[in-house]
Amino acid sequence: MKKELDDLIQYRCNRARETLEEAVILADTNHWNACVNRLYYACFYAVSALLSKHNLSASKHSGVRSFFNQHFVKTGIISKETAVIYNLLFERRQEGDYEEFVSFKEADVKPWLKEAQHFIDVVIILIKQDAEG
């Protein structure tokens, strides 16, 4: 069971990195709505890996977000400043995917690329520290 869980965690970390690369490609071609979607999912995969590492799971995106905030942000394991991008992208992805006439702009989305990169780095480092500890 441990190997299966480790494989799942590694898969989700890899998906986070790969999906972040997709977001960069979309940004480079000015596809801002799709970029926001991929940025959210990149963060989501990293958070899902972290939750799996701690035997937590949820069937809905809102549940994943809730567990993350409850177990990692409110406890100070991950700072509120670092976590803000995941929570922001959760909301923006909802808007972009489900609301009409939403059009994200380069000036808004470009900074989120670096923030999402940092967020994913922090989460993956935490996962690795958990594995070593």
- What is the residue-averaged pLDDT of the chain? 95
Q: Indicate the fold that domain 2-132 takes in CATH.
A: Four Helix Bundle (Hemerythrin (Met), subunit A) (1.20.120)
CA 77, 38, 54, 130 dihedral sign is negative
- Residue range 38-52, pLDDT digits in tens: 999 999 999 999 999
- Residue range 8-41, pLDDT digits in tens: 999 999 999 999 999 999 999 999 999 999 999 9
Tell me if residue 54 falls in helix, strand or coil. Answer: coil
- Note the helical H segments in 1-133: 2-28, 32-53, 61-68, 80-98, 106-132
Tell me if residue 81 falls in helix, strand or coil. Answer: helix
Cα 40 from Cα 44, distance rounded (Å): 6
Tokens of 117: 């990169």
Across residues 127-132, what is the average pLDDT? 79
Give residue 76's region: left, alpha or beta (phi > 0; psi -120 to 50). Answer: left
Torsion of CA 117, 29, 14, 95, to 10 degrees: 70
Cα 41 from Cα 32, distance rounded (Å): 14
